[in-house]
Amino acid sequence: MIELIKHPWPWYVAGPLIGLTIPVLLLAGNKSFGISSSLRHICASCVPGKIPFFQYDWRKEAWNLFFVLGIFLGGTMALYLLSVPHSMEVHPELVRELAGYGIAGTEHPVPGALISWSSLFTLRGFIVMVGGGFLVGFGARYAGGCTSGHAIMGLSNRQWPSLMATIFFMAGGFIMANLILPFILKL
């Protein structure tokens, strides 16, 4: 059984399992799926000020905080209990493209050269991690939810704003990956 969960599952298994969380949440208490709202719940529980955005009964949404805690704990357990000892396989074409940007390495060339504590203190690392994190957070707040909330929950409920948000999330991702990121990687 443990060998079954040590390897990635194909899209036709993982996708429907993710999709089935929506009816389960709706049937279990009319709950909405989304991750970015948990930050609002944390702030509402911890910030004693009179900020109108945080003035609501966050206790009704406490299940969402346990959901996010479960994601964190599940990821931690997977890292320590299910990690595969061999190095990550990166497609040779991607390795060649990254070498053109000065990102090279034989072991974990993508995460190690782009996302690490040492690369955080470079201009490229700061732009990618801090600037990218800010833009993701701003976009999720501006769109009224994150990609998982809009693309999984909102589209399943046929919400027009979620369709628009998902279209623009995807367009922004394509533009970033193909036009802006290559420029940042040359820094």
Same domain, 12 and 78: yes
Residue with tokens 């911890």: 46
The predicted pLDDT at position 110 comes to 55
Q: 92 in a domain, yes or no?
A: no
8: CB partners within 8 A, 6+ apart:
14
> Percent of the chain having pLDDT more than 70?
90
The predicted pLDDT at position 73 comes to 95
Which residue among 67, 83, 99 closes a domain? 83
Q: Does 2 or 51 have the greater pLDDT score?
A: 51
Same domain, 125 and 179: yes
The predicted pLDDT at position 70 comes to 92
Look at residue 163 and tell me whether its pLDDT is greater than 90. Answer: yes
Q: What is the dihedral of CA 81, 69, 139, 16, to 10 degrees?
A: 60
Q: Does 114 or 13 have the greater pLDDT score?
A: 13
Q: 169 in a domain, yes or no?
A: yes
Look at residue 140 and tell me whether its pLDDT is greater than 80. Answer: yes
Which residue among 36, 62, 83 closes a domain? 83
Copy the structure tokens of residue 135: 């833009």
Q: 121 in a domain, yes or no?
A: yes
Mean pLDDT of 167-181: 90
Q: 25 in a domain, yes or no?
A: yes
Same domain, 50 and 123: no
State which residues form the domain around 177. Answer: 115-187
Q: Does 34 or 20 have the greater pLDDT score?
A: 20
Q: 46 in a domain, yes or no?
A: yes
Domains in the chain, number: 2
The predicted pLDDT at position 53 comes to 83
Mean of all residue pLDDT scores within the chain: 82
Same domain, 122 and 78: no
Same domain, 76 and 127: no
The predicted pLDDT at position 2 comes to 72
* Phi-psi region at 14: left, alpha or beta (left = phi > 0; alpha = psi -120 to 50): alpha
Mean pLDDT of 41-67: 84
Confidence of residue 113 (pLDDT cuts 50, 70, 90): low
Look at residue 174 and tell me whether its pLDDT is greater than 90. Answer: yes
Mean pLDDT of 6-30: 85
Residues 150, 143 contacting (CB under 8 angstroms): yes
The predicted pLDDT at position 118 comes to 77
Task: Specify the amino acid at residue 140.
Answer: A
Q: 8 in a domain, yes or no?
A: yes
How far apart, in whole angstroms, are the C-alpha atoms of residue 154 and residue 162? Answer: 5
Instruction: Give which of 143, 148, 132, 149 is closest to 165, Cα–Cα.
Output: 143
